[in-house]
Homo-oligomer: A and B are copies of this chain.
């Protein structure tokens, strides 16, 4: 049977009416892959929810399909967001699919065009302003308040509704909720959405337990951990480089209600985890994604777990979103040799001798 996307699959749990178009790019239905080696090493039962295999390469597709379908239902012809990354890609893709216009507002300060490749190829109109990101978001809010243009940044309430479906899938895939749900925290919407999803599934009797929610900010952007907004957030994990999370209170509440916590990881811990899951488990996720497993490694060192618990780590986006960081992160020059069998075999033996 053909999988028909999130709105069709989970319509009874979503704000789907008879008039909601069944928009889909077949988002969701992402793999839950067991971390074979890390489970052994940390004496846990660890799984990755690999959200990079959504159509545009990140979990944002879950919320965006819901937000764009509702915009269509309400008769909107144009959607708009401020974003330089995953949100703009998802918005542009679903706008293309739903035959809407998509306007993406970005700050004009050294934005790498590569980050906008998806928005551009999906046909979004990208406008840069002489101002910073916060100003771009302000202008989007002003314009969408006055004109018949739908705001699809994370303040759009349908975004979290769509995102909560990832919790449903985790329960369906495991047969129950995990003991722990580890997740990167940037704008803090995703941890809030997962918690909402777990609670709803539990209330409907689809899973008999609730997980402990453990969220991880990047050290250079740890607003919630510090208890105050960060004016100039900095981290290699650009997808969670956010100084004033939109869903702050919801995230704190998710951690508190579930008996969990919002903690932080350093850039070094993030990059170590990023390389580890690729080279040991064969999974390539963007650096921000690795904050979840980096956080589990950190808590394991601190003796947080008893041992044997089932832990799901959310990997929010595909590593192909930022291939340059992969090369920078591993480094090393290319080994160049003569084009003979002997020269190549010598090189192989040398690499193996070096612990390769």
CB within 8 Å of B: which residues of A?
Answer: 1-3, 24-26, 29, 31-33, 36-37, 50, 53-57, 78, 93-97, 99, 101, 103, 105, 108, 113-114, 116-118, 120-123, 125-131, 135-136, 139, 142-143, 146-147, 149, 172-174, 275, 278-284, 318-321, 323-324, 326-327, 329-330, 334-341, 343-345, 347-348, 351-352, 356
Q: Which one of B93, B108, B143, B345 lies within 8 Å of A282 (CB-CB)?
A: B93
Decide: A352 near B101, CB < 8 A? Known: A2-B174, A121-B319. yes
Decide: A2 near B173, CB < 8 A? Known: A139-B344, A282-B96, A327-B114. yes
- Once bound together, how far apart are the Cα atoms of A321 and B321, in whole Å? 9
7 new A-B contacts at CB < 8 Å, known A96-B278, A108-B334, A117-B319 = A101-B352, A121-B326, A121-B329, A127-B351, A129-B344, A136-B339, A139-B344
Q: Which one of B278, B323, B337 lies within 8 Å of A129 (CB-CB)?
A: B337
Query: Are B339 and A130 closer than 8 Å at their CB atoms?
Result: yes
Kindly list chain B residues whose C-beta atoms are within 8 Å of the C-beta of A31: 3, 25-26, 29, 55
Q: Quickly give the copy total for this chain.
A: 2
Query: Are B55 and A327 closer than 8 Å at their CB atoms?
Result: no
Decide: A26 near B55, CB < 8 A? Known: A340-B139, A348-B127. no
Nearest chain B CB to A181 CB, angstrom units: 17
Kindly list chain B residues whose C-beta atoms are within 8 Å of the C-beta of A36: 97
Decide: A142 near B341, CB < 8 A? Known: A93-B282, A128-B335. yes
Kindly list chain B residues whose C-beta atoms are within 8 Å of the C-beta of A118: 284, 319-320, 323, 326
- Once bound together, how far apart are the Cα atoms of A339 and B136, in whole Å? 7
Q: Which one of B56, B120, B320 lies within 8 Å of A330 (CB-CB)?
A: B120
Decide: A284 near B352, CB < 8 A? Known: A128-B336, A278-B96. no
- Once bound together, how far apart are the Cα atoms of A320 and B86, in whole Å? 12
Kindly list chain B residues whose C-beta atoms are within 8 Å of the C-beta of A173: 1-2
Query: Are B25 and A56 closer than 8 Å at their CB atoms?
Result: no
Decide: A143 near B344, CB < 8 A? Known: A56-B284, A117-B324. yes
